[in-house]
Amino acid sequence: MIYVIDGSLESLLCAVFEWFERKPGKIMLQLEKYYQPDAFTTEFHVYKDRKKADRVWTGLKKKLDRGWMRRFYCTFLSESAQAYSSLFEFTCYIFSNPAGSEGNYGNAHVLAVAQTARKVEREKHRMEAFIRFQHSADGIFYCVIDPDFNVLPLIMNHFKNRYADQQWIIYDLKRHYGLYYNLEKAEEVNLTPEEEKNLQKTTGELHAIKENLYATLWKDYFKSTNIAARKNTKLHVQHVPKRYWKYLTEKMDT
Amino acid sequence: MSERIREKLNILADAAKYDVSCSSSGGTRKNDNKGLGDSHASGICHTYTEDGRCVSLLKILLTNHCIYDCAFCVSRKSNDIERAAFTVEEVVSLTINFYRRNFIEGLFLSSGIFKNADFTMERLLKVVKKLRLEERFNGYIHLKTIPGASEELIREAGLYADRMSINLEMPTEKGLKLLAPEKSHEDVKRPLGFVQNQIVQFNDEKKLIKSTPKFVPAGQSTQMVIGATPETDKDIMHTADAFYKNFSLKRVYYSGYIPISHDNRLPLIGTQPPLIRENRLYQTDWLMRFYGFNVNELLNDANPHLDVDIDPKLSWALRNLQFFPIDINVAAYKMILRIPGIGVSSAKKIVQARKFGKLRIDQLKKIGVAYNRAKHFIKCADTPYQLKDYQGTQIKSFILAESQSKYLKNDVQQLILF
């Protein structure tokens, strides 16, 4: 039996609902976009139903504390097919066992959810660290990223609290959406491909002289705070993996 | 204008880099005035230098002019180097502009002593006051307490800073006297104790009056230079332990001495900094703070030095084989913490998971235990029966044969005859 979902949180929760209603035994969860029909297994398309999803969500909230609800959400944001089935199995396991079962790290699904959530949290933390704003002529601080996981919803509050008195845009190039804070609230924005390209330009008219000065000062600082006698490239790369370098001011050529 | 500020930043960041502390954790300032910045309780490292150290704060000296002549310090009076000084406005504008671009978590401000302690402290205070009051900056500020500054100044600075620190410099009074005759540990203890008392007082007041302002919410720290003077690891860690206990320090930092001077009291220029030793000291520090070890268990008269080839937890376990093997399915949490190869988060997971059934080897591996190391010290549901009891030296050689040390490039292991 294969359950096909469209990848939204709602469809995932509905899949859990349907499973408990039908009790088909062991099933496989597949995403619509990767799904290839197969001659020998029966398929079941999960239709989204807000009510059913809400019932599962409230049920889950009763069973899990805030920390675990966050882990659930983080794992969902990892967007991997494997994570969806882990979440499905995890939810079924939680509902069919007494309270407190989420502590059973010996269970493969519990552990998978905990570990995936950790990866997403790590990426979130990295984004809080590695985002480098540039001050544009129109007064907005902007920055582009392409994180491994969909972490924008997780970092929104952090940046909103921190930069409460400046306008900023953080744009995810991989997922083609961003956050824009207008001094009142942060909201989702979508740009056209043309605008996206403009956002990535770091030189020219978009860039004030002052901006170059601070970039240079930051690069200078990065160099002079290094102790050459202790050089440890392996450790450096471990902390700042190369895939993030392209957006780091201190790693850009002058 | 911009050339001069670049020059100053280069000189004063370069002079400040030997201060190891760069943590930005423990700050709890919330951005509730719609100003700039919000401290993150866990701290954020915004980048890492090529030597692998975290860069979280803009770490600079206000000036590298200094009236002291400490042999271990680059900014000492007798050293012929370029001198510079920031103005208050320059520091504030650098901090704000770096912070706005998400380069840093805040400011680490230290200074050479010019004129006298009070004069220096006053200037430092001016910077933090301007940041907090005029710029409404809620980011992290780490401020050096200048030994000898008046208590009023220190107290006022504490109202604006998140963390304050004073460096011990040398682990023992004797070592310090050798290299910096004008300084003493007493000069450090007095202000440390004063700030500590104030923190306790403010916290007590806070319980009664909610509007009591914050006072050094992220606590105090200190730093010792390792390898400049001939102290043993035992001396160093006992000093650290005493400071943790007497002054409730948040952190003690150990900084391997990097030769910067031709002074014959010090290691020659070109000598490798003692990186492994520094690493082992930090490991010991962690064992004391998070793993419930007493400093005497790790370093005592019989073992005044830490092993270089193995970490202190493993070496404690090998000296105390009578406690092992530990059955992870029944042992107390604090005993599980003592098993080499099991860290705090694995230990917590084990304690949770074993309520649901006896744990097996494959589960332990998945949880994150370094099983190849831990297997010599544990028993679990499907541990193979072992006829022979191995000696500590044998276990050590098994572990060393399997592991690749990041420091020891060539094998220094001795042959074992039996």
Say which CATH number the domain at B179 has.
Answer: 3.20.20.70
Q: A residues 46-65 near B, CB within 8 Å?
A: none
- The three-state secondary structure class of B84 is coil
Interface membership of A238 toward B (CB under 8 Å): yes
Lowest mean pLDDT among B28-32, B137-141, B255-259, B357-361: B28-32
CA B76 to chain centre: 24
Q: Give me the mean pLDDT over the B178-206 stretch.
A: 90
Last residue of a domain, one of A73, A97, A121: A121
* Pair A74, A161 in one domain: no
CA distance B49 to A224: 9
Q: What is the average pLDDT score of chain B?
A: 89
Q: How far is A240 from chain B (nearest CA, A)?
A: 7
* Pair A99, A163 in one domain: no
Q: B residues 31-90 near A, CB within 8 Å?
A: 31, 34-38, 40, 44-55, 58-59
- Reported confidence tier of residue B414, pLDDT bands at 50, 70, 90: low
Q: A residues 144-163 near B, CB within 8 Å?
A: 158, 161-163
Residue A203 in domain:
yes
Last residue of a domain, one of B269, B298, B327: B298
Minimal-distance CA residue of chain A relative to B17: A225
* Pair A82, A139 in one domain: no
Residue B407's pLDDT is 59
The one-character DSSP state at B353 is H
* Pair A90, A164 in one domain: no
Q: How far is B405 from chain A (nearest CA, A)?
A: 13
Q: Quick check: A249 and B101 CB within 8 A? A: yes
Which residue pairs, CB below 8 angstroms and at least 24 apart, start in A35-40? A35/A2, A35/A4, A38/A2
Last residue of a domain, one of A121, A148, A180: A121
- Reported confidence tier of residue B313, pLDDT bands at 50, 70, 90: very high
Residue B351 in domain:
yes
- pLDDT of B413 > 60? The answer is no
Residue B120 in domain:
yes
Residue B320 in domain:
yes
Between B47, B54, B272, which is nearest A222 by CB? B47
* Pair B9, B145 in one domain: yes
Q: Around A118, how many Cα atoms within 13 Å sit in the side-chain half-sphere?
A: 9
* Pair A183, A89 in one domain: no
* Pair B110, B74 in one domain: yes
Q: Quick check: A222 and B38 CB within 8 A? A: no
Domain that holds residue A183: 131-251
- Reported confidence tier of residue B347, pLDDT bands at 50, 70, 90: very high
- pLDDT of A52 > 60? The answer is yes
* Pair B333, B242 in one domain: no
* Pair A146, A110 in one domain: no
Greater confidence, A247 or A67?
A67
* Pair A109, A200 in one domain: no
Nearest alpha-carbon partner for B18 in B108, B152, B100, B134: B108
Q: Quick check: B366 and A108 CB within 8 A? A: yes
Q: Around B109, how many Cα atoms within 13 Å sit in the side-chain half-sphere?
A: 31
- Reported confidence tier of residue B32, pLDDT bands at 50, 70, 90: confident
% residues pLDDT > 70 (chain B): 96
Tell me how crowded residue B214 is: count the other CB atoms within 10 A of its CB.
18
Q: How far is A52 from chain B (nearest CA, A)?
A: 31
Residue A133 in tokens: 């704003």
Q: Quick check: B101 and A250 CB within 8 A? A: no
Strands A168-172 and A177-181: antiparallel
CA distance B130 to A202: 32
* Pair A155, A178 in one domain: yes
Which amino acid makes up residue A252? M
Residue A139's pLDDT is 83
Number of domains in chain A: 2
* Pair B349, B252 in one domain: no
Interface membership of B18 toward A (CB under 8 Å): yes
Residue B246 in tokens: 């007497």
- pLDDT of B406 > 80? The answer is no
Pure H helices in chain A: 9-22, 50-63, 66-77, 81-95, 108-130, 152-162, 193-200, 209-224, 233-239
Residue A40's pLDDT is 86
* Pair A161, A56 in one domain: no
* Pair A70, A142 in one domain: no
Domain that holds residue B132: 2-298
Minimal-distance CA residue of chain A relative to B36: A163
Q: Quick check: A227 and B51 CB within 8 A? A: yes
* Pair A142, A74 in one domain: no
- pLDDT of B409 > 60? The answer is no
* Pair B253, B349 in one domain: no
CA-to-CA separations, B147 to A12, A92, B112, B151, B185, in angstroms, rounded: 61, 62, 11, 10, 10
Residue B415's pLDDT is 59
% residues pLDDT > 90 (chain B): 57
Last residue of a domain, one of A121, A140, A156: A121
Task: Judge contact between B155 and B198, C-beta under 8 A.
Answer: yes
* Pair A90, A136 in one domain: no
